[in-house]
Amino acid sequence: MTRLTIITIFLVSLLLAGCTGTLPREHDAAGSAAGTSASLLALEQRLREVLPGAASDTLEVSIAVRDLATGDSLLIDGHTVMHAASTMKVPVMLELFRRVEAGEISLHQPITVSTSFRSIADGSSYSLSASQDSDTALYQYEGQTRPLLELMERMIVRSSNLATNLLIDLADPARIAATMRELGASGVSVLRGVEDTPAFERGMNNTTTAHGMMRVLEAIAAGRVTSPSSTAEMIRILEAQEFQETIPAGLPPGTRVGNKTGWITGINHDAAIIMPEGRAPYVLVVFTRGYRNRAAAQAVGRAVSDEVYRTLVGRR
C-alpha cells in the first residue's frame, strides 16, 4: 500500500466520522430551498454573473455543487438531461468496485483484450480503433489479457473507450441502474459501450444530469457505498486524470482534485471532487451542450470552478 493511499484512507475515515444521516439541503435556481446557506446563495449570484453569454437558447450550461462540509448544494439547471459522453465511466468504475467488495470479481482478474463488440440495438458487430480513442496503447494488447484494475485506470485516467467496452458488461448496466436509483442519481443512465452506432441512431444513449453525477461523486467522496480502501482507490484513480483543462484548471495550483471529463461533438463535461487543504471536500459538476468550440466550453468550466472555489474556500 502506497503512502498516498494510506493518507487518502485516513482522510476518508475523517470524512466518514463527520457524516450524519441528515439529508443534504439543495438549492435549485428554479426554486429556493429553506435554510440554504448564505454562501451558496451568494455563489449563485456570482455564477449568474459568469454565465451571461455562456448560456443561451442554443448554448446550455448545467451546474451542480455539493459542499460536504455543510451538506448544502446548489443546482443551476441541474436536472437537464444530457448525453453523458465519457462521464458514464464513473458509474461503471463504482459498480465494479462494489462487485469486487461483494467477492464476485477481483481487481487482479485477467480480462482478454478484444476490439470487437455487439450492438445492444440489433446484435450487429462493431469494432473500435486506436485512431478514435484517447488511449491508443491498449490496442497493442489485442488477444492478450490485462488485469481489471489496469483497465479501470485506463478507462478513467486516459478515458479509454476500449477499456470501457471491455468492462461495461462486467459492471452490468442493470446493476448500475439499481445503484444509481439507490444513490438518487437522477438522469444517470448507462446503457451501452462506446461507438455503438446502431444504438446511437436509435436514441439508445448513455445520459446524465449534473445533479445525478454530483450524487455519484458525493457517494464516492463520502465513502457511502464502498469501504475506505475501495473509496481511497477510486479517489486515487480520479486524481490521476490526464485531462485537466476545465475544473482543475480553475483551481489554485497544488489543489487536490479528482475528476472525469467527457466530450463528443457539442458536448463538453467535467465532474470533480475537490479536496482543499484544511477543509472537507466539495463536488463540482459543469456540463455544457451546444458549443462548437471546445475551448470556449472549457473556459466556462474554468470560470465556474474559480468562482466556486473562491466562495467555498475563500482564498487563492
Listing DSSP states for 237-299 in one string gives HHHT-S--SSTGGGS-TT-EEEEEEEEETTEEEEEEEEE-TTS--EEEEEEEES-S-HHHHHH
In a domain, 248, yes or no: yes
Domain for residue 113, yes or no?
A: no
Q: What is the pLDDT of residue 46?
A: 83
* pLDDT score at 15: 40
SS3 (DSSP) at 34: coil
Q: In the predicted model, is pLDDT for residue 185 greater than 70?
A: yes
Assess if residue 194 is contained within a domain: no
Residue 240 in this model has a pLDDT that exceeds 90: yes
CB neighbour list of residue 236: distance below 8 Å, 6 or more residues apart: 4, 5, 8, 258
User: What does pTM read for this prediction?
Assistant: 0.88
First to last CA, the chain: 33
**Phi/psi of residue 147, nearest 5 degrees:** -70, 150
Q: What per-residue confidence (pLDDT) applies to 181?
A: 98
Over residues 93-109, the pLDDT tens digits come to 999 999 999 999 999 99
Domain CATH for 254? 3.40.710.10
Instruction: Say what percent of the chain tops pLDDT 90.
Output: 79
Residue 44 lies in a domain: yes
pLDDT bracket for residue 173 (50, 70, 90): very high
Average pLDDT over residues 110-132: 97
Tell me whether residue 114 is in a domain: no
Q: Which domain holds residue 67?
A: 3-80+209-312
Predicted pLDDT of residue 34: 39
Residue 107, helix vs strand vs coil: coil
pLDDT band at residue 141 using 50, 70 and 90 as cut-offs: very high
Q: pLDDT tens across 20-65, in order?
A: 333 345 666 543 343 457 888 888 988 988 776 665 657 899 999 9
**Structural domain includes residue 75:** yes
Q: What is the predicted pLDDT for the residue at 23? A: 36
Neighbour count for residue 11 (Cβ, 10 Å): 19
Length of the chain measured in residues: 316
Q: Is residue 280 part of a domain?
A: yes
Residue 141 lies in a domain: no
Rounded CA-CA distance 73/22 in Å is 13
pLDDT at 220: 98
CB 83, CB 205: distance < 8 Å: yes
pLDDT tens digits for 264-281?
A: 999 999 999 999 999 999
pLDDT of res. 50: 77
Residue 306's pLDDT band, with cuts at 50, 70 and 90, is very high
* Mean residue pLDDT across the chain: 89
* pLDDT on residue 56: 63
Domains of the chain: total: 1
Residue 127 CB contacts under 8 Å (≥ 6 apart), including other chains: 115, 116, 117
State the cell numbers at 277.
487543504
